[in-house]
Structure 1
């Protein structure tokens, strides 16, 4: 649910923070007071199109921030956030959007900078805004199949997952078959390219770890003279006449002569003897190394040429010898497929044919389950419409058999919602309904059903009750309150019947101070609530009759809400 909304320098709002409660929150106020501005702010906060025109006159930027509390840990929004690397703080999500006077936006989710696209995707999982003239998911023919599948529940979901797994294999094989059946010229070019690449890598006879060995050898060759000189100097220092080993030999002999006389000298004599023989061995090893050392300038050229070849191959095929060899295996596999493509085509065609047989079975199973769900949905919608005094309306899910073509992620079905609002008129696509009052009631009927399945945490209705009155107004009020039992609902309304059903009633008003206009917001409770309902009924003048009627309306609404929540 949307727990708190903060708005600063937005339209005629200077600075405003409002907390929302669970259930139904109704926003009322005079026309032009700024009710729709609140909804506009939420719309932009969730990724709607913005511009510098929204910035309050004289300010550099508009600031919008919303705090959402999501109690369901498996809500789809958390996966979306994880997929884009946004940290999740238990059940809290904070959306923020700043609109600069240049028209550009800075968007954040839980403090992380995101694109407007990511903000819009996350916002769509949290808020569903519906205005009387605004295109929504329910008014999109392409979305109807997804809504029906949500309504159908777990049984269809299991079948659909099995179908989608099979469909993924089907797409993979179709793609590979398409590659193999390209025109001959393209295939010939690919064969030539792949053959050249494989031969080039094979001729290099690369070995894993070879580059490190070559680099080490190059280092030694480049420093040959330095190494030779230092080793020769070390050998001379140890073993040449009157050098280190001669002096240590004299010390060894002297200590050995007195080790029998002084026991303390025995261990010292052995240590010196060990040092003498170790240095002698080291000198012999140095001599052997020096005798074998021979500078070969051609070998340095060989090493450098080999390293240059490896660098060339790395630029073409991979960042390391391991990656180059992996690329060779991949290209060799593709080359084998192309060279033996006739056999491959025959085998793939047969696999695709077998998958299509299974796909058809799964797709038909999907269709059967969707038709059962469509019948149940139609009954549920018809029941909702009757409660909204549209007894003559008929609703159906139309399966467009003539539009069936290739398999897609939804099977073979093409469908849309159809409705007829008057006796004797043929059903028409839901998207073609024009009457404002009928559209409002139809939308509420659909929302009553789908709000339980869509997972949206908050639904906003922006004056969807326009054009209705009397018993229809009361029915709409109860329907909105019923939707609020499954989702948080924020509703802008001019109907006292809707306001009476609110769990939270906020009144918006406009004030002028210092030659500037300000939008103010006040929570209406107790006696003031009855006064606001009375004003909504009669206008500016509140009479004892309208006040009494308002109190009765609030009492009736309280009883009706108890019934709805216990239903």
Structure 2
């Protein structure tokens, strides 16, 4: 759940720290006081799109920080581990700073993360549902995901198997299309690849040849200096009056000294061994010097060869090994093109096998979805009855996917496949008895959409593992007993998840376990927003204001007390 939210220099908010409790927290206040701004801040904290316009005028940056605590078994713990985020103590501190230039800095538990990572963690913690989300409910393409979310446990394994096959089908289909390009393009590729292979093969390259030749060129270019250095080294070591001559005398003297004092034996052996090692090194230098022979033709050949290799590098790779690797690659591709008909037949056979397997998995998905659709329909009807929509009929229509970039002929019939199966799902509704079922988008009013959305949220909230649910004025367009039913439904959701709700309905406000009052006022000629937890008496005044509008009378206060009393009775049931 969200424990605490801190907001600084955000829109009309100067600085706020809001503690939150379990259960249902209601936020109320006059229109424009800043209620939705607080929800906007939470949305940005969860990875929403940021903008420099959110930064309070005259400030360098807006800062938003939230503290969340979850259970050890919460799904977000596994996500955090996969993303390398320390989730010990089951505590997550999300922070987002937005600069006046529009740049975002995101952190989770002190670690810098991308907005994508912030969004992935944030969406696993909080579900924000506002008026704009009614639009997603009206979009038929969203309905498949909603149904799959309802049947997640039963569907997941089959869906993973389907998606693995689908990815393989896409790879094979891409290869088939590549081999099915027009003949002129294939002929041009063949000519190009043959020319490139001939040029590389003619060069007769050897692995690592460029490195070896460069080293040899360096040695030949400094051969005279090398000869001089080695000859001087040899003369210093070997010959009359050289280092070894003096060392030989030292060995002889130490041998005699060791016969007098045995403690010198080790020193004598060390010097003696050094003498023989140096003598061997001198002989090696002599042999190396005798083999040195300056060959200008060899240097000229190396220069020419390196120039030839450099010309190939410009075309085919930065090293000789890269060039040889490129040659192997185009040789394989050339062989594939030349024998494309045989390869094409094999790929098409493999692809058809995958399509057949996809067909089986798609049918398995459809079977699970049909069973889930019946269960979802029953659950929705149950929820709608409690929202005074008992005469409304809801149905989930599952059809074969009609159009897709990816189709196959299965058992003589063309079939379309998508990333999530071969199904098209759409929610249908009939709000009055005797009327035909029609697509949800074409029949539902604003108030009906609010109730249907709330019914879906009631069903999904327990399954999604979300710790906090936020409702931003989802009760728009309803009143009377429907408003009371919505209030009870929202409070019911709060029994399994922490719920934050912005509302203009007194019935919803009366259900609050915690009531926060949002207001704005002027300080130093600047507008600021404040948040105040209401006492019982203050809650009566606020609900009375919500009932009456401008003037609060004793009658509206009495009505407010009655709403609070009824709400208290409902909570005890």
Task: Give the TM-score taking structure 1 as reference length.
Answer: 0.87
> Which residue is equivalent to 1:288?
287
Q: 1:359 to 1:297 in 2, by over 3 A?
A: same
- Does the residue aligned with 1:214 lie in a helix, a strand or coil? helix
Preserved CA contact (<8 Å) 2:27 2:500: yes
Distance (whole Å) between structure 2 residues aligned to residue 256 and residue 134 of structure 1: 100
Distance (whole Å) between structure 1 residues aligned to residue 281 and residue 345 of structure 2: 71
Preserved CA contact (<8 Å) 2:52 2:98: no
> Which residue is equivalent to 1:91?
91
Preserved CA contact (<8 Å) 1:77 1:122: no
The farther-off stretch of 123-132 and 374-383 is: 123-132
Q: 1:147 to 1:256 in 2, by over 3 A?
A: closer
Alignment of 1:528 onto 2:544: no
The farther-off stretch of 116-125 and 57-66 is: 116-125
Alignment of 1:445 onto 2:455: yes
Alignment of 1:42 onto 2:42: yes
The farther-off stretch of 153-162 and 429-438 is: 429-438
- Counterparts of 1:408-427 in structure 2, within 5 Å, are 408-427=418-437
Preserved CA contact (<8 Å) 1:28 1:508: yes
The farther-off stretch of 248-257 and 6-15 is: 248-257
- Deviations along 1:387-409, one digit per CA (max 9) or x if unpaired, are 10011111111224472552121
Q: 1:421 to 1:270 in 2, by over 3 A?
A: closer
**1:47, distance to aligned residue in structure 2 (A):** 4.4
> Which residue is equivalent to 1:109?
107
> Which residue is equivalent to 1:238?
237
The farther-off stretch of 235-244 and 487-496 is: 235-244
Q: 1:32 to 1:240 in 2, by over 3 A?
A: closer
> Which residue is equivalent to 2:178?
179
Distance (whole Å) between structure 2 residues aligned to residue 263 and residue 457 of structure 1: 86
Please point out which of 486, 505, 512 is paired with 1:502: 512
- Counterparts of 1:144-223 in structure 2, within 5 Å, are 144-223=143-222
- Deviations along 1:236-278, one digit per CA (max 9) or x if unpaired, are 2233344344444455556667766676777766665555544
> Which residue is equivalent to 1:470?
480
Preserved CA contact (<8 Å) 2:7 2:15: yes
Q: 1:281 to 1:11 in 2, by over 3 A?
A: closer
What CA RMSD, in Å, does the superposition of the two structures yield over aligned residues? 3.3
Please point out which of 481, 486, 490 is paired with 2:491: 481
> Which residue is equivalent to 2:25?
25
- Deviations along 1:269-306, one digit per CA (max 9) or x if unpaired, are 66655555444433332222111111223333433444
Distance (whole Å) between structure 1 residues aligned to residue 266 and residue 122 of structure 2: 83
Distance (whole Å) between structure 2 residues aligned to residue 540 and residue 468 of structure 1: 20
Preserved CA contact (<8 Å) 2:33 2:520: yes
**1:142, distance to aligned residue in structure 2 (A):** 1.5
Preserved CA contact (<8 Å) 1:6 1:18: yes
- Does the residue aligned with 2:142 lie in a helix, a strand or coil? helix
Distance (whole Å) between structure 1 residues aligned to residue 233 and residue 129 of structure 2: 89
**1:377, distance to aligned residue in structure 2 (A):** 0.8
**1:556, distance to aligned residue in structure 2 (A):** 3.5
Distance (whole Å) between structure 1 residues aligned to residue 326 and residue 95 of structure 2: 44
The farther-off stretch of 252-261 and 301-310 is: 252-261
Matched residues, number: 560
Preserved CA contact (<8 Å) 2:79 2:121: no
Distance (whole Å) between structure 2 residues aligned to residue 492 and residue 259 of structure 1: 102
> Which residue is equivalent to 2:328?
329
**1:9, distance to aligned residue in structure 2 (A):** 2.9
Preserved CA contact (<8 Å) 1:2 1:68: yes
Alignment of 1:363 onto 2:373: no
Distance (whole Å) between structure 1 residues aligned to residue 197 and residue 134 of structure 2: 55
